[in-house]
């Protein structure tokens, strides 16, 4: 087999790795190149971190796959404890898989599962065929008392090799963990780097952390460094293998929530869905570049883009975490933060810490910079009360279609179309299923115009303690471009 043939096979293998599948079409006569086809993905993996160590924690899992045209007619999806995914081959013995936490019956209808207490493990989820395109799983935990009390929510995420978490902390009132979950049959090796206001924190304990196959490790940040810093950026870099990663941020006084990873470093960022009744908003930013970043700070409000007084710009020094307290920046209106370069574009990651309430009733959530809705985005575990959908069109006017799915225990899907003005954020009156019973999913589809960003706020009381959590709505990547290829046997002769 010559080098050209090997390259051809390697290229096909690379396509399979990126898309989750590869399909080779039957030989056709050589002709003009065709546009790549957009086809549904055939396999999706999601990882859910261990929800809580509190004995009074109550956790629900909600799974949803939107109905996708041209998707496979077969397939299945399930969530299982990480250890139950192992077949025991690496240990030389077999291990029987446990009962799944949930198994969806059909796309278009949410499936739910529950657990309680502080012993629940991390979960590994796999969806195939018709359940794979746009598969979304929400983990929501209610904790009535103790550090981090309130409502904690996180979208279970796909395994990857790099994550950025601006907004973490090792302050005295905070207990922050980085949860690392390995879904594969071989160990993953991970480096955790911490960056504070003066740059990288000295620590060798975050280097070369081994995460065993089919397991999850919560790493307490305060064990990696002796420095107590209010605002940190956590960089998770995977040397070998892949993991899922999320930061659980628990505050003794201000409740807590999950901090999801910021979108990849970029010169311009959008942080959507600041609650209109937020009493304190803190922006935390970091640039991995060797150059400083100067950012213009704007709030996309219902009436357009405005500049927060006293926080018109943000200077982010290279390799250092920078923060700015924006106060009650939304002033009682829906809002999203828009960061753009004032001059040269330098890649940045960012997140917001949002506080609602006063006194003993304060609670915290986080909003990381996120990708746009793209073609389609979904958020699960919406409820009859306490659900707010926020949409923003930072650059150009746009039209979106919002669909409320059938309820998990009954109800019929309903859709509405919304037009957003350029530079604005709206808390839209999202539809709810007709005859709703249980929870439901919201799916946002881009119809026309400029990019749209979205976030969902879920509010609930845990034994009288007000709580809330915010999840962004990035593109679900349920479709993949598959180039049309023709057979050319001449490559075998070169």
pLDDT at position 200 over 50:
yes
Helix (H, G, I), strand (E, B) or coil at 259: strand
Number of neighbouring beta carbons within 10 Å of residue 26: 5
Residue 160, pLDDT above cutoff 50: yes
CA distance 278 to 45: 34
User: What does the pLDDT average to over 245-265?
Assistant: 96
Within-domain flag for 103: yes
Check whether residue 185 and residue 121 sit in a common domain. yes
Residues 98 and 17 in one domain: no
Per-residue pLDDT at 31: 40
CA nearest to 38, candidates 486, 451, 475, 483: 483
Average pLDDT over every residue of 260-268: 98
7: pLDDT confidence band, cut at 50, 70 and 90? very low
- CA of 292: how far to CAs of 322, 341, 342, in Å? 11, 11, 12
Q: Is residue 310 part of a domain?
A: no
Strand partners, 143: 150
Shared-domain flag, residues 13 and 101: no
Indicate the number of domains in the chain: 2
Return all residues near 93 (Cβ < 8 A) that are at least 6 apart: none
Give the C-alpha separation, 494 to 489, whole Å. Answer: 10
The 10 Å Cβ neighbour count of residue 175 is 20
The predicted pLDDT at position 137 comes to 98
The CA distance from 243 to 165, in Å, is: 15
Q: What is the mean pLDDT of residues 204-213?
A: 95
What are the tokens at 97? 């898989």
d(CA 425, CA 443): 18
Q: What is the pLDDT of residue 10?
A: 41
Measured distance between the N- and C-terminal CA atoms of the chain, rounded to whole angstroms: 11
Pick the more confident residue, 13 or 337: 337
- Per the domain annotation, does 145 fall within a domain? yes
Same domain, 10 and 59: no
The answer to the question of residue 84 being in a domain is: yes
Give the pLDDT band (50/70/90) at residue 37.
confident
pLDDT digits (tens, 9 = 90+) for 381-427: 999 999 999 999 999 999 999 999 999 999 999 999 999 999 999 99
Per-residue confidence (pLDDT) for residue 25, from 0 to 100: 35
Chain mean position to CA 107: 21
Residue 366 lies in a domain: no
63 and 131 part of one domain: yes
Token couple for 423: 């530079």
Answer yes or no: do 103 and 64 share one domain: yes
Residue 242 has a pLDDT of 97
Question: Is residue 303 assigned to a domain?
Answer: no
Q: What is the pLDDT of residue 199?
A: 97
Nearest C-alpha neighbor of 250 from the set 81, 116, 367, 366: 366
Using one digit for the tens of pLDDT, what is the confidence trace for 54-64?
999 999 999 99
> Do 138 and 85 fall within a single domain?
yes
Averaged pLDDT score across all residues of the chain: 89
- Overall average pLDDT of the 123-128 stretch: 96
Last residue of a domain, one of 205, 227, 258: 258
Do 44 and 167 lie in one domain? The reply is: yes
Domain end (from 258, 285, 306): 258
Residues 61 and 13 in one domain: no
What does each C-alpha distance from 325 to 2, 282, 322, 385, 436 come to in angstroms? 61, 4, 11, 30, 40
pLDDT, tens digit (0-9, with 9 covering 90-100), for 348-387: 999 999 999 988 889 999 999 999 999 999 999 999 999 9
> In terms of domains, do 51 and 24 share one?
no
Residues 6+ apart with CB under 8 A from 30: 486, 487, 488
Provide the pLDDT for residue 462.
63
Range of the domain at 29: 3-38+481-493
Q: Is there a domain that residue 438 lies in?
A: no
Q: Is the pLDDT of residue 142 over 50?
A: yes
Are residues 45 and 72 both part of a single domain?
A: yes
- Tens of pLDDT, residues 437-478: 999 999 999 999 999 999 999 999 766 667 999 999 999 999
Q: What is the mean pLDDT of residues 283-294?
A: 98
What is the pLDDT, as a whole number, of residue 6?
37
Does 14 share its domain with 106? no
Residues 222-233: tens digit of each pLDDT = 999 999 999 999
Residue 270 lies in a domain: no
Per-residue model confidence (pLDDT) at position 464 = 65
Instruction: State percent of the chain over pLDDT 70.
Output: 87
Domain end residue (candidates: 230, 258, 286): 258
């Amino acid at each position: 087999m010559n080098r050209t043939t090997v390259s051809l096979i390697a290229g096909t293998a690379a396509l399979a790795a990126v898309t989750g599948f590869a399909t080779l079409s039957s030989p056709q006569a050589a002709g003009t190149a065709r546009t790549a086809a957009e086809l549904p993905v055939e396999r999706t993996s999601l990882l859910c971190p261990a929800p809580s160590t509190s004995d009074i924690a109550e956790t629900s899992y909600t799974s949803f796959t939107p109905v996708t045209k041209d998707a496979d007619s077969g397939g299945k999806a399930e969530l299982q404890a990480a250890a139950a995914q192992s077949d025991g081959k690496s240990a030389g013995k077999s291990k029987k898989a446990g009962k799944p936490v949930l198994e969806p019956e059909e796309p278009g209808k949410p499936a739910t599962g529950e657990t309680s207490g502080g012993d629940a493990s991390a979960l590994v989820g796999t969806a195939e065929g018709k359940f794979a395109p746009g598969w979304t799983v929400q983990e929501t935990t209610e904790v009535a008392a103790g550090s981090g009390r309130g409502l904690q929510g996180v979208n279970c995420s796909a395994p990857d090799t790099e994550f950025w978490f601006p907004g973490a902390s090792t302050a005295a009132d905070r207990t922050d963990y980085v949860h690392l979950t390995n879904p594969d049959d071989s160990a993953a090796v991970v480096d955790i780097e911490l960056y504070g206001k003066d740059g990288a924190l000295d620590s060798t304990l975050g280097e070369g952390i081994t995460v065993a196959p089919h397991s999850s490790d919560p790493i307490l940040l305060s064990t990696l460094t002796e420095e107590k810093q209010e605002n940190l950026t956590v960089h998770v870099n995977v040397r070998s293998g892949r993991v899922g990663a999320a930061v659980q941020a628990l505050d003794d006084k201000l409740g807590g929530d999950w901090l999801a990873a910021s979108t990849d470093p970029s010169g311009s960022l959008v942080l959507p869905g600041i609650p209109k009744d937020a009493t304190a908003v803190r922006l935390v930013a970091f640039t991995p570049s060797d150059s400083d970043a100067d950012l213009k700070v704007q709030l996309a409000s219902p009436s357009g883009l405005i500049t927060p007084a006293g926080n018109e710009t943000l200077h982010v020094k290279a390799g250092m975490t920078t923060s700015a307290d924006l106060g009650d920046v939304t002033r009682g209106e829906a809002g999203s933060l828009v960061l753009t370069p004032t001059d040269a574009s330098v890649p940045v990651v960012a997140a917001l810490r949002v506080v609602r309430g006063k006194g003993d009733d304060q609670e915290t959530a986080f909003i990381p910079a996120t990708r746009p809705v793209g073609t389609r985005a979904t958020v699960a575990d919406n409820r009859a009360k306490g659900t707010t959908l926020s949409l923003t069109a930072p650059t150009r006017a746009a039209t979106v279609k919002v669909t409320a799915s059938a309820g998990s225990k009954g109800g019929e899907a309903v859709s509405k179309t919304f037009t957003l003005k350029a530079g604005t954020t709206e808390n839209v009156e999202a539809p709810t299923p007709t005859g709703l019973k249980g929870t439901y999913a919201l799916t946002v589809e881009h119809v026309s115009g400029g990019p749209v960003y979205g976030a969902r706020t879920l509010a609930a009381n845990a034994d009288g303690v007000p709580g809330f959590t915010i999840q962004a709505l990035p593109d679900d990547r349920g479709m993949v471009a598959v180039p049309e290829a023709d057979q050319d046997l001449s490559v075998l002769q070169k």
